[in-house]
Structure 1
């Protein structure tokens, strides 16, 4: 017998999984992905661009949200709290502070100098308090080695910042390297081994010498009729992953690749448990003999180190 999740996957057109920049714009958002657009239950991502002096109001509804500066800073007013986010020059320049906004709330996001802000959300059950996430407390780790080296900013990983359902991290991959490798999946409930998570990848590619960069992202089916994507990705693109083996994400030489991962699922525990593709998991055994790419860290380590390169695929 097939599950309801598998039936929904079979009904979805494949072209929807890669959303080129601008194709998912809606109203004030340069990118607007909600569960209805994605065809799933929980995960959301919006990107709002504010001009100098701009103000945006977020009505959270049944979802919890994190306001994460991509460029610039802002002030977030919500639930009687005021959070001043210093932000950053770009996603390639450093870790950012952020604000958590609970479900059933209104938030006003104002930016004196203007900027671009990601709103990562997940439909949830508990209403947690609004909170500020300081940049120095974001654990930054290096994963993999050699050409599989990448940097992960675990600002809202399952074990670093409390949310009800939302899991979100940032990944920076130096030009020429592969990340999200070996390919992995999280589309089956297997206690202690794998968790079901809907996932969004949002990409930005570093420009060099006035030239826009690009990368490639692969999702291959983990079951008949499952998600199948091979996409050239550029700044502002997103890829939706309801199921399947995802990876690698490949950065073109000379251009650092950034992606924001937003995840949520139905499990009782908020956890990120993955299974490696059986044909490619052996690559981990080669990592201890190789040094981490000397270009990393891109902007310094802060906070405690997390999973080692042998343990994580992101």
Structure 2
């Protein structure tokens, strides 16, 4: 099954970026994602343009330099070995700036972006300040690293979080949507999912992503087998479940932004499946979680 909403690894690459999804290529107005691969000693410079960005190491460490009319900032990101080993620190760079990433050891770095109106200052986000949430119980247990969540880290439009689903579990469940402006109840947010999987004895992992029509927008309808480096675009619709096959933990990075005046993640559960939340208090959280927690403030590196 092929779909313009499922971008298998390599199909959304451009230049040094293994993934380059822009509002123009996605056919929407706000959300963007790049995944940059840098060799040891490599660097990459880009103009932020009309968008704000969070630079998040997926593997490896880097230095982020940001220059604009207000001066120059530099942040050293300690990063991590992989998305399955640790929470990472990150850097926020504003619109209308020139940014350079450089890495002595090389690595992979996500740039989560959103078109925005306000220009906020460049900032460093310590790993120690990232709230690690355990959401759901039983077979719906998952871990959410809320590094760029609304109410956690200040952005103009951008919302970004990481989700880790243990092998065999379902996340993004019950299916939910955010494609309708309902003040205090539901936001309009374009969403990108970027996937990685934990291998087992050298065997790569995989999972499945479902998006079903909600009666809004484009009527997005998708059931995709997803693997390392795949991307799923969600302009509208009920999304979920995200299913991790047994034996392979699943990671996805969520990038969201939209036109609503309030930067908020407000969702509506699918009416056929919302009842599942009521069963969670009677079950334990999957004992495999958390895979890790945020480091203590005392051990967290500081920016230069």
> Which category describes the TM-score, using the shorter chain as reference length?
over 0.9
Matched, 1:166 2:158: yes
Matched, 1:182 2:174: yes
Q: Which residue of 2 aligns with 1:7?
A: none
**Residue from 26, 30, 41 that aligns with 1:38:** 26
**Residue from 127, 130, 137 that aligns with 2:129:** 137
Alpha-carbon contact 2:162-2:251 (below 8 Å) kept? yes
Render the CA deviation track for 1:85-127: whole Å, top value 9, x for unaligned.
Answer: 0000000001000000000000110000000000000000000
Alpha-carbon contact 1:69-1:98 (below 8 Å) kept? yes
Alpha-carbon contact 1:139-1:302 (below 8 Å) kept? no
**Residue from 245, 251, 257 that aligns with 2:250:** 257
Q: Secondary structure in 2 aligned to 1:282?
A: helix
Mapped to 2, the partners of 1:300 and 1:25 lie a distance apart of: 32
Q: Which residue of 1 aligns with 2:64?
A: 76
Mapped to 1, the partners of 2:134 and 2:106 lie a distance apart of: 31
**Alpha-carbon offset, residue 302 of structure 1:** 6.0
Render the CA deviation track for 1:130-168: whole Å, top value 9, x for unaligned.
Answer: 000000000001000000000000000001000000000
Consecutive unaligned residues of structure 1, counting only runs of 5 or more, are: 1-13, 304-314
Matched, 1:18 2:6: yes
Q: Which residue of 1 aligns with 2:94?
A: 102
Return the TM-score normalized by structure 1.
Answer: 0.91
Consecutive unaligned residues of structure 2, counting only runs of 5 or more, are: 297-304
Alpha-carbon contact 1:138-1:302 (below 8 Å) kept? no
Q: Which residue of 1 aligns with 2:262?
A: 269
**Alpha-carbon offset, residue 171 of structure 1:** 0.2
Return the TM-score normalized by structure 2.
Answer: 0.94
**Residue from 74, 77, 96 that aligns with 1:85:** 77
Q: Which residue of 1 aligns with 2:40?
A: 52
**Alpha-carbon offset, residue 28 of structure 1:** 1.4
**Residue from 248, 255, 260 that aligns with 2:241:** 248
Matched, 1:126 2:114: no
Alpha-carbon contact 2:178-2:186 (below 8 Å) kept? yes
Instruction: Rate the CA distance shift 1:302–1:286 in 2: closer, same or farther, 3 A.
Output: farther
Render the CA deviation track for 1:224-260: whole Å, top value 9, x for unaligned.
Answer: 7500010000010000000000000000001000000
Mapped to 2, the partners of 1:131 and 1:51 lie a distance apart of: 25
The root-mean-square deviation of aligned C-alpha atoms, in Å, is 1.0
Mapped to 2, the partners of 1:61 and 1:28 lie a distance apart of: 18
Mapped to 2, the partners of 1:301 and 1:151 lie a distance apart of: 12
Q: Which has the higher strand share?
A: 2
